[in-house]
C-alpha cells in the first residue's frame, strides 16, 4: 500500500469510526479527529501492509449498495437528477449505517435536489438527531426480533421435551390409527391434529358420535376415502398434545 492510499484508507476509517460513535464527524482540525486518524493509520499500516482496502465497486464506480437503491419518488426529470445527486452524495459518506439511513429516510428526489449544495458534513450534522433516533429504533427492533426468536426456540424445545416425555411421535400416532378398528363415518366437528409421515397426511377430527373419530387421509397426491375409528381417550390426549406445536 503506497502512502497516499494508506492515508485515504485511514481517513475513511476515521470518518466511519467517528460516525458510528457520534453520528457525525468532528472537524478534521479537532483533537478527537486527529487522534482517531492516527490510531486508524497505525492499525491499517500494521494490519494490511501492502494491501489496499477499498469497498467493492462495479465497472461504473458505484458500490453494491448504490446499485440496489430504490427508485426515488418524483417526476421523471426529478428522479434522474435526484438519483444522480444521491449516488454522488452517498459516495461521500463512509458509514454504511448512515448511507442506509439516508436511503431509507430520503425517498423523494426533491430532498436530494434541494440540498445538493449543502456540504455533506453540514447535512449530516443537521440530520444527527433523526439519525440517532433511527439507529435507536433499529437497535430496539433487532433486539425485539432476537428475543422473539429466542422465545420461540424455547417454546419449541419445551414442546419437544413434552412429546419425548410422553413418548409421542408422528409415526407412533399413525400406527395407533392404523391399528384401530374402522367404522362407518360420523359427522365431523373439531379437528384434533394433523400428522404427516412417510408420504401420508392425516387429519383427525372429533365427531358427533362420542365414540368415534373421523380420519381424512391423503397418500401422496391421492385423497383416500374418509373413515372413522374408535375414540380412545389415550389417543385423543396424545393427539391434543401433538397439536400444541408452537
pLDDT digits (tens, 9 = 90+) for 83-108: 889 988 888 888 888 888 999 999 99
pLDDT band, residue 58 (cuts 50/70/90): very low
pLDDT, tens digit, for every residue of 119-149?
988 999 999 999 999 989 988 988 898 899 8
pLDDT tens for residues 229-246?
A: 999 999 999 999 999 988
CB atoms within 10 A of CB 129: 10
* 177 pLDDT above the threshold of 90: yes
Cβ burial of 7 (10 Å; 0-12, 13-18, 19+) is middle
Q: Could you give the CA distance from residue 50 to residue 60 in angstroms, rounded to a whole number?
A: 25
CA dist., res. 184 & res. 164, Å (int): 33
Residue 159 has pLDDT above 80, yes or no: yes
Domain positions in the chain: 3-140, 170-242
Q: What pLDDT was estimated at residue 214?
A: 97
Amino acid at each position: 500500500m503506497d502512502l497516499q492510499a494508506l492515508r485515504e484508507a485511514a481517513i475513511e476509517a476515521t470518518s466511519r469510526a467517528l460516525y458510528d460513535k457520534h453520528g457525525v464527524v468532528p472537524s478534521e482540525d479537532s483533537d478527537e479527529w486527529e487522534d482517531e486518524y492516527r490510531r486508524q493509520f497505525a492499525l491499517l499500516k500494521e494490519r494490511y501492509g501492502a494491501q489496499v482496502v477499498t469497498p467493492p465497486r462495479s465497472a461504473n464506480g458505484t458500490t453494491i449498495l448504490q446499485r440496489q437503491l430504490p427508485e426515488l419518488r418524483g417526476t421523471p426529470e426529478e428522479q434522474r437528477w435526484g438519483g444522480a445527486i444521491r449516488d454522488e452524495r452517498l459516495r461521500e459518506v463512509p458509514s454504511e449505517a448512515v448511507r442506509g439511513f439516508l436511503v431509507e429516510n430520503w425517498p423523494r428526489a426533491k430532498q436530494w435536489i434541494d440540498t445538493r449544495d449543502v456540504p455533506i458534513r453540514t447535512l449530516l450534522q443537521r440530520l444527527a438527531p433523526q439519525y440517532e433516533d433511527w439507529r435507536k429504533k433499529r437497535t430496539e427492533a433487532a433486539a425485539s426480533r432476537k428475543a422473539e426468536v429466542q422465545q420461540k426456540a424455547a417454546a419449541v424445545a419445551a414442546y419437544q421435551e413434552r412429546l419425548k416425555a410422553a413418548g409421542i411421535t408422528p409415526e407412533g400416532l399413525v400406527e395407533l390409527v392404523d391399528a384401530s378398528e374402522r367404522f362407518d363415518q360420523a359427522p365431523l366437528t373439531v379437528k384434533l391434529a394433523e400428522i404427516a409421515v412417510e408420504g401420508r397426511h392425516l387429519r383427525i377430527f372429533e365427531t358427533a358420535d362420542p365414540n368415534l373419530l373421523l380420519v381424512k387421509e391423503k397418500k401422496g397426491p391421492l385423497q383416500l376415502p374418509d373413515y372413522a375409528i374408535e375414540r380412545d381417550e389415550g389417543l385423543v390426549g396424545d393427539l391434543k398434545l401433538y397439536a400444541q406445536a408452537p
